[in-house]
Amino acid sequence: MISKEVKDRILELKKRYPWKESALMPALMLAQKAGGNYLSKEDMDEVSKLVGVTSGKAYGVATYYSMYNTKPVGKFHLQVDTNIPATLAGALKILDFIKKELGIKPGETTEDGLFTLSEVECLASCGTCPVIQVNDVYFENMTEEKTKALLDSLKKGVMPKPETPPYFGGTECNVLLKNRLVENATSIDVYKKNGGYKALDKAMKMEPQAITGEVKASTIRGRGGAGFPAGVKWGFLAKGTGKPVYLVCNADEGEPGTFKDRQIMEYDPHLLIEGMIISARALGAKLAFIYIRGEFDWIADILDKAVNESKADGKMVDFDIIVHRGAGAYVCGEETALIESIEGKRGQPRMKPPFPAVEGLYGCPTIVNNVETLASVPFIIEHGAEAFKKWGYENNTGCKLFGVSGNVNKPGVYEFPMGVPFGKLLEAAGGVKGKLQGVIVGGLSVPILKADELDGLNMDYDNCIKHGTMLGSGGVMVINDEFSIPELAYRTIRFYAHESCGKCTPCKEGSYTIVKILEKLLKGQGTQVDLDNMVRILASVNEGGSTLCPTGQAFAMPIKAMYEKFTDEFKKLIK
């Protein structure tokens, strides 16, 4: 039974959205939290009536996203990230330690109902792994000793305050990370004291077309992974439709190895908000959304507070931003799946065309940009496109955030000019722990490079392509020779099989089949026929147009590269 207080919150939430259906996901999460971290069928039905959708739709949404607990869990839900950055940092040892301490396996609950243990995919804590998420709280840089202390405290019913992880990172450009170490930088007063909102003051005196022109002249490419020029994308916005225009910030940050956007939202939220207000003015949008991954619950609270501060300070006139929490679906990083999710649906990609700039959110012209892209706009407007272009070179301009994780001494987020030599970035991150075996330079979806392929590599879009990989999101995972590439390939495909939305057969069935092949191989039961089948499936999925969104290619490319470049390691495992 949902309390009157929660019902009132849901009804208020419903009023904020242009479509009532958009309130479904946050309403389900409110009901789950009120129900002791459990979303019962009865609560789903009650939420559906409050929002005004069918109970079947509520059930379909609740069973699609991984963060909804449609089965009871313990008072403390321990979720251990075991994706590649976490594995490289020792997460499997932490998981084994918890299993022994509690006497349960992932998916099980202790007899007293106190603990449920889950093994989960990337929590965007790549630079501060191992990480354990307890309900909504992150505990980072975990060791066995810290884990023992955490469990002992939880057994007493006390949720301890997480330690602040040591900060490794730095900036050579002083644009996106300039406030990272400034005390209380999330406050609007501190932000303004350090020059914040000056770009907005300038933008308010500019014509919208002039703002778009400056962004286009900067040649900034989308920082989410695809690298499409942001100004060109804005230019595709349908004109004269008579429909509202929407701006959406993609803050889903679900790509393993990627944790850069978190630095902006958690420590300098007004930079993002200022960029969104300016961008909305250029586009003619009166309402914008920040679609943030649901695991970042505390960061969403930071953003909500910053939005309210900005409103109170008169920065958001005839304009609003809704911070919309996701609920655990990697595919919602794809812009049309994200739009479907905001509309209160299962986050599955749409057929394109029409593209969002013509027919996006609520069937209206919509621009979707990444956090880092929008946070770069204030600098471009305040200082001009030419100042931005002083970094990098043609077609690869500006500053860029790189999240470095894995086997390095100082994992963290580093801001450098586009085109920084990889060796310089690696040196900033404290160098390699052990002997370098390979590097994934742009998030899990790009091909791995062997140690001997890194000579002359510069971290920009074009140079990465010349080296047989892609810059992607700039999520750099450094791998030493202590780790098995077939094991990492297995963890890669397991992630994508878990995150496939199920809409396209090549992605859904292809990823599942490769999981089974690599499981057999790692158990010493695989054959050459299995490897041949894997290669055939990868080639089929990698063909353009085989899937609606890039998720299929996102696993086919990296697994193919791992197999081709480390073939001997795979063949050694054949029985």
The pLDDT tens digits of the residues spanning 16-36 come to 999 999 999 999 999 999 999
Which band of pLDDT confidence, cut at 50, 70 and 90, is reported for residue 336?
very high
Mean pLDDT of 481-489: 96
Residues 6+ apart with CB under 8 A from 400: 223, 372, 415, 416, 417, 418, 420, 459, 460, 474
Residues 6+ apart with CB under 8 A from 255: 122, 225, 330, 333, 443, 444, 445, 472, 473, 475
Other C-beta atoms within 10 Å of 42: how many?
12
Instruction: Mean pLDDT check: name the lowest of 319-333, 488-502, 544-558.
Output: 544-558
pLDDT computed for residue 1 by the predictor:
82
Mean pLDDT of 284-304: 97
H or E stretch at 497: helix 485-499
222 pLDDT more than 90 = yes
545 pLDDT more than 80 = no
Rounded CA-CA distance 249/85 in Å is 25
117 pLDDT more than 80 = yes
Higher pLDDT: 506 or 407? It is: 407
Rounded CA-CA distance 289/341 in Å is 12
- Measure Cα distances from 174 to 190, 237, 460, 531 in Å: 16, 31, 19, 48
> How much is the mean pLDDT over the chain?
96
Rounded CA-CA distance 446/439 in Å is 10
The pLDDT tens digits of the residues spanning 387-429 come to 999 999 999 999 999 999 999 999 999 999 999 999 999 999 9
Which band of pLDDT confidence, cut at 50, 70 and 90, is reported for residue 225?
confident
pLDDT computed for residue 448 by the predictor:
98
**How far separated are the first and last CA of the chain, in Å rounded?**
56
3-state secondary structure of 352: coil
Find the angle CA(269)-CA(274)-CA(275) to the nearest 5 degrees: 100
Question: For a pLDDT cut of 70, what percent of the chain falls above it?
Answer: 100
Which band of pLDDT confidence, cut at 50, 70 and 90, is reported for residue 575?
confident
Rounded CA-CA distance 181/163 in Å is 17
Structure tokens at 253: 């940050």
Which band of pLDDT confidence, cut at 50, 70 and 90, is reported for residue 543?
confident
Rounded CA-CA distance 491/500 in Å is 14
Structure tokens at 117: 């243990």
64 pLDDT more than 90 = yes
Instruction: Mean pLDDT check: name the lowest of 292-301, 316-325, 548-557.
Output: 548-557
Mean pLDDT of 283-291: 98
pTM: 0.96
Question: For a pLDDT cut of 90, what percent of the chain falls above it?
Answer: 95
Rounded CA-CA distance 332/286 in Å is 23
Find the angle CA(421)-CA(427)-CA(433) to the nearest 5 degrees: 125
Structure tokens at 481: 């020779």
Mean pLDDT of 363-383: 98
Rounded CA-CA distance 501/331 in Å is 7
Q: Is the distance from CB of 169 to CB of 408 less than 8 angstroms?
A: no
42 pLDDT more than 90 = yes
124 pLDDT more than 80 = yes
544 pLDDT more than 70 = no
Dihedral sign of CA atoms 415, 416, 417, 419 in order:
negative
pLDDT computed for residue 197 by the predictor:
98
Q: Is the distance from CB of 13 to CB of 26 less than 8 angstroms?
A: yes
pLDDT computed for residue 548 by the predictor:
85
Residues 6+ apart with CB under 8 A from 335: 248, 250, 356, 360, 368
Nearest C-alpha neighbor of 281 from the set 346, 215, 364, 328:
215
The pLDDT tens digits of the residues spanning 432-478 come to 999 999 999 999 999 999 999 999 999 999 999 999 999 999 999 99
**Residue labelled with tokens 């202790």:** 110
pLDDT computed for residue 550 by the predictor:
85
- Measure Cα distances from 442 to 124, 184, 302, 328, 461 in Å: 14, 31, 27, 21, 10
Residues 6+ apart with CB under 8 A from 327: 25, 28, 29, 65, 66, 67, 68, 294
Mean pLDDT of 60-82: 97
